[in-house]
Structure 1
Amino acid sequence: MTRLRYLAALPFAALLLAVGLGLIFGGSGKAAGSPPESFTLSNGMNVLVIPDHRAPVVTHMVWYAVGAADETPGKTGLAHFLEHLMFKGTEKIAPGEFSRIVAHNGGQDNAFTHFDFTAYFQVIAKDRLPLIMEMEADRMTNLVLTDAEVLPERDVVMEERRMRIENNPVAMLQSDMGTALYGGHPYGRDIIGHMEEIAGLTTEDALDFYARFYTPSNATLIVAGDITAAELRPLAEKYYGVIAERAPTFIRDRAQAIWPEEDVRLERRDPRVTQATWIRFLPAPSYRKAEPKDQPAFDVLAEILGRGTTSRLYRALVVEQGIASGVQSWYEGNRLDDGRFGIYALPRVGGDLASLEAAIEAEIARLLAGGVDDEELARAKTVIAASAIYARDSQRTMAYAYGEGLMTGLTVEQIHEWPDRVRRVTKEDVMRAARLVFENNPSVTGELLPGGDS
């Protein structure tokens, strides 16, 4: 079974599919109904219920408030490595049997690692939910790891890094750019970790990490689908509420990101590259760090500037000037610490990156000088609303969006009220966000070019 494994260094088309509150909850209408109900078990585990009674199916997720940014220096990749190892079995379930049991019962399962969280989920018929909860609770406390299981899986992770990062020139460039932007902050490294440090991870490292962070008070259960809080509570208490705390409360203590003092330029040449690529990263506050009224404005800014064929950059560079074959912008606000804003562009065949960069900077200058108009603001909100309508059709997407928001510093109420907040975004809000991103802000620009090794 192919797993999601980790969320980093995605191809650019996939970047725009990454879940963000602006795409999932944005819109011009009011938030529907009451917020999902939440409660806390006696051992500190949080529970959120998102009812969706259209089919007798549920999405069951357990989120741990620990990710790649919480690893001990010198042991990068440990959070993602443990995610792999969580499928190796317990005293009750043999290695590899967890997913086979889920599939045998008609379900699907997967897992993913982020800088700030790690999560495990299953989509299953409602009547199989007790089985899933029993198995997930079992591996929260009873994971069995030996060198015989751990060391071969370490080789799997190393091969995954080769495939996803080292054999992908775009990913390698993004990796270098992330380090240049975030410096010594953990967000400046790949979630999967450094190859030489992955190679040194041990069974003891994994078990220590597991014992420290995989504990009820550091976990949140989210169940979306054909269930109510009244139905879920006794199940949560039966399977998760009986798990004793085994570690002190985890309090994060991360250093603040120190941005570059001046603009940075990176060039990577690779014989595998046939299409030059231009990328720029800029510091931006995360949802958690932005002022409340500014939070949705960054998503609207990204939509107006470079999402889709009606965006400013697409119209100018692709349609009018004909110097780009593709261009997009995005905002990554789903982080506990600082976020970032990104732009990428592909030149038309025979075009050069210098002309492309000049045209992008000219469009940004026009935006800063002239502001946005009523029509493009309304269009951006309409597009975001259409994305939200589609996203709300998927209980798994909704569960993910709430989980990601909770894991990166937002409250249930803030997430639920996102449509109203997007609706209230004004032209002035968008311009304030634009100035925060583009004025007096260092950037990291990367160029990926055909040719020899960089």
Structure 2
Amino acid sequence: MPRSRFLAPRVLGPALALVLIAAFAAAWFWRDGDGAVSSALQSFRLANGMEVLAIPDHRAPVVTHMVWYRVGAADETPGKTGLAHFLEHLMFKGTAEIAPGQFSRIVSRNGGQDNAFTHYDFTAYFQVIAKDRLPLVMEMEADRMINLELTDAEVLPERDVVMEEQRTRVENSPMSLLQAEMNAALYGDHPYGRDIIGHKEEIDVLTTDDALDFYNRFYTPNNATLIVAGDISLDELRPLAEKYYGSIAQRAPTFERARVPVIWPAEDRRIVRRDDRVQQPTWLRFYPAPDYSNAGAREGAAFDVLAELLGGGQTSRLYRNLVVTQEIAASVGAWYEGSRLDAGKFGLYALPHVGGSLAELEKAIDTEIGLLLADGVSEEELARAKTVIAASAIYARDSQRSMAYAYGEGLMTGLSMADIHEWPDRIRAVTADDVLDAARALLAGVAVTGELLPGEGT
């Protein structure tokens, strides 16, 4: 089976954060077959409730086929954490038509690539393949939507695989352990406060019945969205969607979420973690932030620009002042994580120069934040930040997968097609006053600060 790409909390850093912003912004820049910018996004709904979206790009006879389910790690039953990610693994275990482990091999033999990923708010499966093989992958994906066969012989060994993944990605990663503590402090009892992969002791007792119950409850067409990007039009996609997905009956009610609210910490928190595996100390800070859908168009765009301007790369304020001028940081960055349903966060991270002090570095970062809050930003650095985002979007628009992901993630986390389509216009409209308002809304409040240090203990 393909390597699972579960989306657990990690230090994004400016590079990956900018990729996510660019993919989001690039949705507006989709080009038609002649290379011109196109907004010919088309969608419809099947009679069984499944949403279908076509993103045309006729430059090459290739398509990206994605099925998104509106269920993720934050929707699991208490006591059964890790079930969404576990089922993602099990979806490759076969049906009556496709033997266990053969799904990915069939895709590969036909010149394609496939994978899957789990998020707090969704789970998705995709294939990138030649256009003439699209019916093949649609038939296989539709088959495992309703005909997955699971037995202890398949499920229990795969549970061991997930347990090993938990050990590798969380237990054996001091940074992951620190971030897990920080997320718990930031989000409290909300599911965003725990890792997507789940708690070790709960993963270890997940059963075949648990997986089948989850599958039968959530993997139903009225809880799914089909996105096909590439050499396809809605007229071509509609009959295929009707043939392969339209005949699937709803087997469960459309999922209505009922989550506990996010209650932000009432005061600043500091978490210090020591680990003898750590060679270089790291400083982190998480600020409470609304997600894109709750922030609104203007404020959400301003958060993105603030992250780029403050710590998005080598032209950012923190990098120029702390790495280049003062030479007290080896690396520094900022990001805004807004693609969630219930709440986001704004993050900062920094690594001191070898032998440097985290306390000195933190003081310098706080000074820069204070200057920004007091004096605002210049038109020059504002223009530079927006230019960087726009340039990244131009590169990202050449990727079908980035485009399909941008729309899928946005739709799964409360945005409309119009919200996604208009995002670059909103980035361009951000003013210096908007950025200052965003900084005051985020950076003047409480925060969770983390320190990862060499040495014994945890």
Does the alignment pair 1:3 with 2:3? Answer: yes
AA of the residue aligned to 2:126: F
Shift of 1:316: 1.2
Equivalent residue number for residue 67 of structure 1: 72
Structure 2 counterpart of 1:347, from 349, 352, 356: 352
Structure 1 counterpart of 2:446, from 413, 420, 442: 442
Contact (CA 8 Å) 2:216, 2:252: kept in 1 or not? yes
Shift of 1:20: 3.1
Does the alignment pair 1:250 with 2:248? Answer: no
Contact (CA 8 Å) 1:27, 1:420: kept in 2 or not? no
Tell me how far apart the structure 1 counterparts of residues 282 and 292 of structure 2 sit (CA, whole Å).
28
AA of the residue aligned to 1:8: A
Does the alignment pair 1:270 with 2:278? Answer: no
Contact (CA 8 Å) 2:2, 2:104: kept in 1 or not? no
Equivalent residue number for residue 51 of structure 1: 56
Tell me how far apart the structure 1 counterparts of residues 165 and 322 of structure 2 sit (CA, whole Å).
36
Tell me how far apart the structure 2 counterparts of residues 11 and 299 of structure 1 sit (CA, whole Å).
16
The 5 Å alignment of 1:121-140 reads 121-140=126-145
Tell me how far apart the structure 2 counterparts of residues 403 and 27 of structure 1 sit (CA, whole Å).
11
Tell me how far apart the structure 1 counterparts of residues 239 and 455 of structure 2 sit (CA, whole Å).
62
AA of the residue aligned to 2:253: P
Equivalent residue number for residue 115 of structure 1: 120
Tell me how far apart the structure 2 counterparts of residues 161 and 279 of structure 1 sit (CA, whole Å).
22
Does the alignment pair 1:151 with 2:185? Answer: no
Report the 3-state secondary structure (helix = DSSP H, G, I; strand = E; otherwise coil) of the residue aligned with 1:400. helix
Structure 2 counterpart of 1:164, from 160, 163, 169: 169
Does the alignment pair 1:179 with 2:184? Answer: yes
Does the alignment pair 1:426 with 2:431? Answer: yes
Report the 3-state secondary structure (helix = DSSP H, G, I; strand = E; otherwise coil) of the residue aligned with 1:94. coil
CA gap of 1:404–1:291, structure 2 versus 1, over 3 A, is: same
Contact (CA 8 Å) 2:63, 2:231: kept in 1 or not? yes
CA gap of 1:111–1:15, structure 2 versus 1, over 3 A, is: farther
Please give the per-residue CA displacement for 1:282-308, whole angstroms capped at 9, x wherever unaligned: 101100110221111100000000011
Contact (CA 8 Å) 2:163, 2:204: kept in 1 or not? yes
Does the alignment pair 1:20 with 2:25? Answer: no
Report the 3-state secondary structure (helix = DSSP H, G, I; strand = E; otherwise coil) of the residue aligned with 2:295. coil
Structure 2 counterpart of 1:308, from 313, 327, 347: 313
Shift of 1:13: 4.6
Shift of 1:10: 2.9
CA gap of 1:203–1:402, structure 2 versus 1, over 3 A, is: same
Equivalent residue number for residue 298 of structure 2: 293
AA of the residue aligned to 1:414: D
Structure 2 counterpart of 1:377, from 356, 376, 382: 382
CA gap of 1:100–1:29, structure 2 versus 1, over 3 A, is: closer
AA of the residue aligned to 1:108: Q
Equivalent residue number for residue 201 of structure 1: 206
Equivalent residue number for residue 393 of structure 1: 398
Equivalent residue number for residue 40 of structure 1: 45
* Alignment TM-score, normalising by the size of structure 1: 0.97
Shift of 1:111: 0.1
Please give the per-residue CA displacement for 1:97-140, whole angstroms capped at 9, x wherever unaligned: 00000000000000000000000000000000001000000000
Does the alignment pair 1:410 with 2:415? Answer: yes
Report the 3-state secondary structure (helix = DSSP H, G, I; strand = E; otherwise coil) of the residue aligned with 1:132. helix
Identity of aligned residues (%): 70
Report the 3-state secondary structure (helix = DSSP H, G, I; strand = E; otherwise coil) of the residue aligned with 1:275. coil
Equivalent residue number for residue 34 of structure 2: none
Count of aligned positions: 453
AA of the residue aligned to 2:6: Y
Report the 3-state secondary structure (helix = DSSP H, G, I; strand = E; otherwise coil) of the residue aligned with 2:331. strand
AA of the residue aligned to 2:398: D
Tell me how far apart the structure 2 counterparts of residues 73 and 118 of structure 1 sit (CA, whole Å).
18
Contact (CA 8 Å) 2:28, 2:422: kept in 1 or not? no
Structure 2 counterpart of 1:317, from 318, 322, 329: 322
Between 24-33 and 78-87, the greater mean CA deviation after superposition: 24-33
Structure 1: state its 5+ residue gaps: none
Structure 2: state its 5+ residue gaps: 32-36
Equivalent residue number for residue 340 of structure 2: 335
AA of the residue aligned to 1:128: R
* Alignment TM-score, normalising by the size of structure 2: 0.96
Contact (CA 8 Å) 1:27, 1:423: kept in 2 or not? no
